[in-house]
């Protein structure tokens, strides 16, 4: 089985690339979904987050207000590192369990894990190949404003905590340029899928 990491940055188009790879036949797991899962009430990271940042991060329904928590951690590298210290191990454990199960049932599969900070955390080393979804910083900002309803200041603060995409290119075996029309991106993804499938044969 081929283990593929798919990374990028905030609003760089990695989810679009991930969905396109899944449509072509890859098995896709989104680390963001796991990150939300491990912070749900009853999960270990939930209790650690409340203990670390206080009950003010909770919504009236008892769940974590993720936007408020984001405002806290993305403005303070120390607090972001603290949050990551208990979220990332829980997420990686779920990723590895998924990969092992997939390998057992589909040994010829292409397993794609989509995650924004694979390079920053060193997790890219767990994968056979690394794919980067790339666009300009200004495109990231514009897309995130439209998609997430965040202010430009909030987005810039989050981007400042991520490695620039240009620097991530040095770690990736494959780069998908998402700055143009969607059909151009899809054409690149189809070529990538054909290459990944050749590796597994």
Structure confidence by residue, pLDDT tens digits, 141-197: 999 999 988 889 989 988 887 899 999 999 999 999 999 999 999 999 999 999 999
Task: Find the DSSP H helices in the chain.
Answer: 14-24, 31-38, 44-53, 66-73, 77-105, 118-121, 137-148, 152-160, 165-168, 182-200
Question: In sequence order, what are the residues at sequence separation of 6 or more whose Cβ sits closer than 8 angstroms to the Cβ of residue 6?
Answer: 14, 17, 18, 21, 112, 113, 114, 115, 130, 131, 133
pTM metric for this prediction: 0.89
Residue 47 confidence class, pLDDT cut points 50, 70, 90? very high
Per-residue model confidence (pLDDT) at position 187: 98
Share of the chain above pLDDT 90, in %: 85
**CATH fold of 2-200:** Rossmann fold (3.40.50)
Distance CA 146, CA 150 (A): 8
Beta bridge partners of 132: 7, 175
DSSP 112: E
Contact 1, 112 (CB under 8 A): no
pLDDT tens digits for 78-90? 999 999 999 999 9
Beta bridge partners of 110: 2
């Amino acid at each position: 089985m081929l283990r593929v990491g798919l990374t990028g940055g905030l609003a760089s188009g990695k989810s679009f690339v991930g969905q396109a790879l899944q449509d072509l036949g890859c098995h896709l797991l989104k680390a963001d979904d796991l990150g939300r899962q491990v912070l749900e009430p009853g999960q270990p990271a939930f209790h650690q987050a409340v203990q670390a940042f206080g009950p003010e991060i909770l919504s009236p329904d008892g769940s974590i207000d993720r936007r408020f928590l984001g405002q806290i951690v993305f403005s303070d590298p120390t607090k972001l590192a603290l949050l990551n210290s208990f979220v990332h191990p829980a997420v990686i454990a779920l990723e590895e369990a998924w990969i092992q199960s997939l390998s057992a049932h589909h040994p010829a599969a292409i397993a794609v894990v989509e995650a924004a900070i694979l390079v920053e955390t060193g997790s890219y080393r767990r994968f056979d190949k690394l794919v980067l979804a790339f666009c300009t910083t200004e495109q990231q900002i514009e897309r995130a404003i439209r998609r997430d309803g965040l202010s430009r200041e909030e987005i810039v603060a989050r981007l400042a905590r991520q490695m620039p995409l240009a620097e991530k290119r040095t770690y990736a075996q494959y780069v998908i340029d998402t700055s143009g029309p969607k059909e151009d991106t899809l054409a690149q993804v189809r070529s990538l899928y054909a290459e990944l499938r050749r590796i597994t044969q």
